[in-house]
Copies of this chain bind each other. A is one copy, B any other.
Amino acid sequence: MDMTSLIASIPLFQGLSPGQCAQLAAIAVRKYHSKGQTFFLEGDEAEGFYIILAGRVKIFKLSPDGKEQIFHILEEHEPFGEAAVFAGSHYPASAQALAETPVLFFPTRKFVDLIRRDPTLALAMLALLSMRLRKLTALVENLSLKEVPGRLAAYLLVQCDGNSPLATISLDVSKNQMAALLGTIPETLSRILKRMSDEKLIKTGPRSITILDKRGLADLAEGNRKLG
């Protein structure tokens, strides 16, 4: 696909005119990262932001003693690194490819120039940053105000909404990664999955989790209920 139509197909850029897409196309750079490769590390000088064309990327931080907190796992068409473009000069977290991941790269300078001339684009970016803020707010809430069973319940409910009308979630992240996403460790996650199974809230399959009691999980997520 040529660059302009590629850009036009990205949700973030919906609503832009063909001319505007062409301008974006003129500054975008195709890049390719293979599994495990990092896009940037926390603290790196920020030179631009990325949009995923395929594959998966995790945004994360490590503690000095090696614990990992994953902020997001992003997929096709999702942007990342965008917060560093408009304020501050270094990336606030690290980004690593979880699979073969082709991306588009937009250099800060040129992209900001475009925004200056294109309020539609500016509003799209504002909406994007606001969404991110919202997601991070939810993460803080989970970490600070819920215990691990509640976080897990909330996570499962979100996954099944976005994933399929049926209540079976195909696990596309390893349980290790899932633990890091929930701000805990694999052992704890394993134990809590077991407790949830015992209480018939879920059924754990080989690469999947089936939700048996949505109401029960919701109660858990909202703190109205505890695991036995």
Indicate if A84 sits at the interface (CB-CB under 8 A): yes
> Which residues of chain B have C-beta atoms less than 8 A from A83's C-beta?
129-130, 133-134, 137
Known: A83-B134, A84-B130, A88-B131. A64 touches B223 (CB 8 A): yes
Indicate if A127 sits at the interface (CB-CB under 8 A): yes
Cα separation A68 to B130 with both chains bound (whole Å): 23
Cα separation A94 to B128 with both chains bound (whole Å): 21
Q: Are B127 and A123 in contact (CB under 8 A)?
A: no
Cα separation A125 to B127 with both chains bound (whole Å): 11
Kindly state the interface size class of chain A when it binds its partner: 35 or more
Q: Are B131 and A129 in contact (CB under 8 A)?
A: no
Q: Are A63 and B122 in contact (CB under 8 A)?
A: no
> Which residues of chain B have C-beta atoms less than 8 A from A117's C-beta?
119
Cα separation A92 to B5 with both chains bound (whole Å): 35
Cα separation A146 to B222 with both chains bound (whole Å): 25
Indicate if A224 sits at the interface (CB-CB under 8 A): yes
Q: What would 10 more interface pairs be, CB under 8 Å, given A62-B145, A88-B131?
A: A61-B141, A83-B137, A86-B126, A87-B130, A92-B138, A122-B122, A122-B126, A133-B133, A136-B140, A144-B183
Q: List 8 A-B contacts (CB under 8 A).
A: A86-B129, A87-B128, A87-B134, A92-B137, A129-B129, A139-B140, A140-B140, A144-B183
